[in-house]
Structure 1
Amino acid sequence: MRAFSSLFALCVLAATVSSQSVFDPVTPWPPGPGNVLIPQAPNPELVQILSKVDPNRVKAIIEKLVSFGTRNTLSSQTDPKRGIGAARDWIAAEMRSFAAASNGRMTVDVPSYVQQPTSRIPNATVISNIVATLKGSKEPNRVYVVSGHYDSRVTDVLNFIDDAPGADDDGSGVAVSMELARVMATHDSAATIMFAVVAGEEQGLFGSNFMATTLAQNKVDVQGMLDNDIVGSSTADDGTKDPTDIRLFVSGLPQNNTAQQNLNLASIGGENDSPSHQLGRFVAEVSQNIVTGMNVRTIYRPDRFLRGGDHLSFLQQGYPAVRFTEPHENFAHQHQDVRVVNGVQFGDLPEFVDFDFTARVAKVNGAALWSMAQAPGTPKSVFIDTAQLTNNSTLRWDADVHADGGYEIVWRETDEPQWSRVIPVGNVNTVTVNLSKDNVQMGVRAVGKNGFKSPVAFPFPG
């Protein structure tokens, strides 16, 4: 049956509208109504943006970060040449230089707070983030975030004296945020994009938690967060290279859900359709193309075993968030004192970073960020009618004036990882399709006249 369905998926089918506004299949099951979903391709402006991502600038950023010796959260905040304070000031100055070319669209802030002692912070310590904000010209309160952390560590997380180069963990993620801020600063974005560089990750996600909670307290509508942590190497510890794959960790059940909400989600088979899963599907759809030259390997778990990252802070606030990490980590180059043992070099040094690979990861992020920010927002209050038993399915959602290209119903078999079919339904906010909600998974996405399409919203019974 799977092979049979795949064969039919090669055909493009047209959906017709009946007088009762029911979208009928043009052929009997399989394959059902709708067209084969063709992934969104980058438009000329996005191609131009991505073409400006420069591996040499990525290299310069990472090498400059390494030059500060250590960026441990506990290191000096006042020394002009060594420590996390010097790194903070340099990053902020660079971001401000990017903003200067934005014609006022981009601003740079260094929000800070004092973190009281914890098991990994023995003394009250200032945690400072650097955030370059490209304000949306149409929907400034709809926000997308890309982030990397600029603090670093060695084997002992409390050791702020010895060199902690942090080239890959996470100079690479910082380079992604900074390079995207540079190339997007001169472009007009419909929604707001925040290019964040946060501190305190190694001590307990303090900088990202500060950022995420501040956004939530201010009721900012963050519709997607992309965390880049350890995205600098394409080489495994056995020496094999994987230069075109990037892992994308995608959380399942929302971390801020109640137990009852999770039971409700599971009761309709929606445990694989969380907002973060929809974000992950969107990234995979728009970021795998000839311009990025990358494959996105989506992994359905919040993070690697025994590990975590700054996206978790956003998940805890109910925001969709995902994490990028290189395909094969070399643990001799993470959280290690710089040393040579039996001829093996330990330490997170720039010589182990593939700058071309990191630049391609930046392009993957850039394709996703720009595609989301130029599309209408993800539809809200999406429900599927369960008032009566029927083999049709009626979906409703809140109308959005920015969805000037209408809406699409997407669907897939319940065991398919990606949305595979699409039914254009026009500029409406309720529609009935000739698909049984018992048999497939459905969702709604908004379309702009510019051709950009939003991430999908999963419907709940209502």
Structure 2
Amino acid sequence: MTDRRTFLSASAVVAATPVLAVASSAGAAGAAGAAGGGRPGGLPKQAPDRELKALLQEIDPHRIETIVRRLAGFGTRHTLSSQDDPVRGVGAARDWIYEQFQAYAATSGGRMSVELQSYVQPPASRIPEPTRITNVVATLRGSGEPGRIYVVTGHYDSRASDVMDATSDAPGADDDASGVAAVLEVARVMATREVQATVIFAAVAGEEQGLYGSDHLAQQLKGAGADVQAMFSNDIVGTGNAHDGTAADPRTVRLFVEGVPTAETPAQTSTRQSVGGENDGASRQLGRFVQDVAANPQTGMDVRVVWRRDRYLRGSDHISFLLRGYPAARFTEPRENFAHEHQNVRVENGVQYGDLVEFCDFRYIARVARVNAAALWSLAQAPGTPKGVVIDTTQLTNATTLRWQPSSAPDIEGYEVLWRETTAAQWERVLVVGNVTTTTIDLSKDNVFFGVRAVDRDGHRSPVAAPVPG
């Protein structure tokens, strides 16, 4: 065992170190796991740091209730409703959200800025005439790596039964005042804190008409060459009780993550599948990361990761980012009540229908907000996901050589190599390799899937990056 540890330590620094023969891949996995602290059956979860624990405690369900009730109180927030009425319609909601973000920015010491990001959408599907669409965007600039960006959204527009009905009441409490409330509350508690990377909080418009607001936001970032390393959409996160006779599930939130990246070319798909398959795309790694850092007693939630882009016949604003090649995922409640969603407010047999405030659970929304906060804080404080990760496939050998680009994080401590059986869903073992950019491990690349993540001096870990052949 001592000889094996010596080999692994040396090979992490010099890729050309001679490879020791092993009796079997299982034996190599056991030895490497012992050397690097890995263990069978899963890795220890990343515990929240002291600042994150304090941040999560500040998230307030009463504030969330105030936000949901205020947004529902605008009557309708339909994209085609009034933009100039001060008390009713999408314009009034836009201006109120802007005021909230401005108030949060005032506590940030200059780190947060707020803008109204507007454009005129020409006639298109569900847009009968040129229509101004406005996102309300608050940017919390990172102090260490401001060019590394994480985005979180909720959509503030709503709809009635008829998607083109811009006049009927459409309070949209669950869909999606709940998501906007979660985003606003996370922005409030993070505004007072310094983060290493930049976090963008956005209340986007035009979702119900065709993801128009998020599409514009994603394209603006893509056109600027922004390094968006993760995006989350919060859409229908109002309750764990579907109010349809089924058992309530108040401690679960679903996170939808796609497999094969939407923007991937066939050649990229073929390359990636040779080393990890659809379960190792960046969005799937993001799902694993969120499940790791956010499912803890401080959030009070179980993150149920669903390996799909979204629900059947449905879609949300994360798709706008997926289409541009960014890792993205969608939070939503565990079971939807389709009878109450997208309905004009009405009463039948003494039962109210419509997306009403009464169907929301504000403590549930607060727990969803804590999940978002845990994910965003952990991402923004950790080093970025390693880039340029390559697995050497140029030689026939039972060892595995991995290479990657050095991190630009100012407090980088080093890197860890992870692996799992090809039939396993989660990473199973980890090896600390130090602050290097090349490592050789006495374990066959033919038998397992590999990944690399970065670690800073405080123990914050990045999402895992899967390698491509090189």
Is TM-score (shorter-chain normalized) higher than 0.5?
Answer: yes
Contact 2:28 2:442 in 1 (8 A): no
Q: In structure 1, how many angstroms separate the alpha carbons of the residues matched to 2:9 and 2:383? A: 27
Return the offset for 1:345: 2.5
1:127 correspondence with 2:133: yes
Identity %, equivalent residues: 57
- Counterparts in 2 of 1:121 and 1:446: CA distance versus 1, 3 Å: same
Return the offset for 1:32: 5.1
RMSD, matched Cα: 1.7
- Counterparts in 2 of 1:15 and 1:324: CA distance versus 1, 3 Å: farther
- Counterparts in 2 of 1:173 and 1:19: CA distance versus 1, 3 Å: closer
CA-to-aligned-CA distance 1:348-401 (integer Å, 9 cap, x gap): 000000100000000001001000000111110000000111111000000114
Q: Which residue of 2 aligns with 1:254?
A: 261
Contact 1:27 1:33 in 2 (8 A): no
Contact 1:250 1:302 in 2 (8 A): yes
1:447 correspondence with 2:446: no
Q: Which residue of 1 aligns with 2:122?
A: 116
Q: In structure 2, how many angstroms separate the alpha carbons of the residues matched to 1:89 and 1:330? A: 30
Secondary structure at the aligned position of 1:33 is classed as helix
Return the offset for 1:265: 2.2
Aligned letter for 2:323?
Q
1:185 correspondence with 2:154: no
Q: TM-score, length-normalised on structure 1?
A: 0.94
Contact 1:32 1:435 in 2 (8 A): no
Contact 1:148 1:197 in 2 (8 A): yes
Aligned letter for 1:91?
I
- Counterparts in 2 of 1:18 and 1:405: CA distance versus 1, 3 Å: closer
1:94 correspondence with 2:100: yes
Q: TM-score, length-normalised on structure 2?
A: 0.93
Q: In structure 2, how many angstroms separate the alpha carbons of the residues matched to 1:412 and 1:58? A: 40
Q: Which residue of 2 aligns with 1:220?
A: 226
1:418 correspondence with 2:426: yes
Alignment of 1:335-354 (within 5 A): 335-354=342-361
CA-to-aligned-CA distance 1:121-164 (integer Å, 9 cap, x gap): 11110000011110000111100011100000011011010000
Alignment of 1:6-405 (within 5 A): 16=6, 17-21=8-12, 28=27, 31=30, 33-34=32-33, 35-36=38-39, 37-236=43-242, 237-402=244-409, 404-405=412-413
Q: In structure 2, how many angstroms separate the alpha carbons of the residues matched to 1:221 and 1:269? A: 23
Contact 2:294 2:303 in 1 (8 A): yes
Contact 1:212 1:317 in 2 (8 A): yes
Unaligned runs of at least 5 residues, structure 2: none
Aligned residues between the structures: 449
CA-to-aligned-CA distance 1:75-116 (integer Å, 9 cap, x gap): 000000000000000000010000001010101011100001
- Counterparts in 2 of 1:152 and 1:19: CA distance versus 1, 3 Å: closer
- Counterparts in 2 of 1:425 and 1:180: CA distance versus 1, 3 Å: same
Q: In structure 2, how many angstroms separate the alpha carbons of the residues matched to 1:418 and 1:277? A: 10
Return the offset for 1:20: 4.1
Return the offset for 1:267: 3.2
Q: In structure 2, how many angstroms separate the alpha carbons of the residues matched to 1:19 and 1:323? A: 42
Return the offset for 1:18: 4.9
Return the offset for 1:340: 2.3
Return the offset for 1:269: 3.8
Contact 1:245 1:295 in 2 (8 A): yes
Contact 1:244 1:293 in 2 (8 A): yes
Secondary structure at the aligned position of 1:345 is classed as strand
Contact 2:419 2:449 in 1 (8 A): yes
CA-to-aligned-CA distance 1:193-244 (integer Å, 9 cap, x gap): 0011000000000000000000000001000001100001111222421011
Bigger Cα displacement from structure 2, 118-127 vs 300-309: 118-127
- Counterparts in 2 of 1:401 and 1:259: CA distance versus 1, 3 Å: closer
Return the offset for 1:49: 0.6
Contact 1:374 1:452 in 2 (8 A): yes
Q: In structure 2, how many angstroms separate the alpha carbons of the residues matched to 1:28 and 1:326? A: 43
Q: In structure 2, how many angstroms separate the alpha carbons of the residues matched to 1:54 and 1:228? A: 17
Unaligned runs of at least 5 residues, structure 1: 1-13
Secondary structure at the aligned position of 1:293 is classed as coil
Aligned letter for 1:395?
L
Aligned letter for 2:27?
P
CA-to-aligned-CA distance 1:404-440 (integer Å, 9 cap, x gap): 2100001111222221211000000000012211111
Contact 1:287 1:364 in 2 (8 A): yes
Contact 1:15 1:423 in 2 (8 A): no
Aligned letter for 1:281?
R
